[in-house]
Amino acid sequence: MMTYRRMKVTELAEILNMAPTNISAMRKSARGIKFSTLSKLCDALDCEPGDLFERTPGPPHDPDGEDDEP
């Protein structure tokens, strides 16, 4: 979205009142994000939350809730 909006990390960091290094880290491997930060990102980039995330398939889910290992 930043590329689409032609926005630099420093510009977004200023809008969000965050360090540019934090923006860069979030772009590379966000493990969690506060809803308030997500809302600010969407406002700054004029987008919806789904525009910012990409689903990466994980391991198959065991519907019984049990592992196959003993």
Q: Regarding predicted confidence, which is higher, 53 or 41?
A: 41
Rounded Cα–Cα distance for residues 16 and 18 (Å): 5
- Print the SS3 string covering 10-68: HHHHHHHCCCHHHHHHHHHHCCCCCHHHHHHHHHHHCCCHHHCCCCCCCCCCCCCCCCC
Task: Give the residue-averaged pLDDT of 17-28.
Answer: 87
Q: Where are the domains of the chain?
A: 9-51
User: In the predicted model, is pLDDT for residue 62 greater than 90?
Assistant: no
User: In the predicted model, is pLDDT for residue 34 greater than 80?
Assistant: yes
Residue in this structure with the two tokens 């032609």, named with its chain if needed: 6
What are the two backbone dihedrals, phi and then psi, of residue 3, each rounded to the nearest 5 degrees?
-65, -45
Prediction pTM value:
0.65
Task: Give the residue-averaged pLDDT of 31-41.
Answer: 88
User: In the predicted model, is pLDDT for residue 69 greater than 60?
Assistant: no
User: In the predicted model, is pLDDT for residue 11 greater than 70?
Assistant: yes
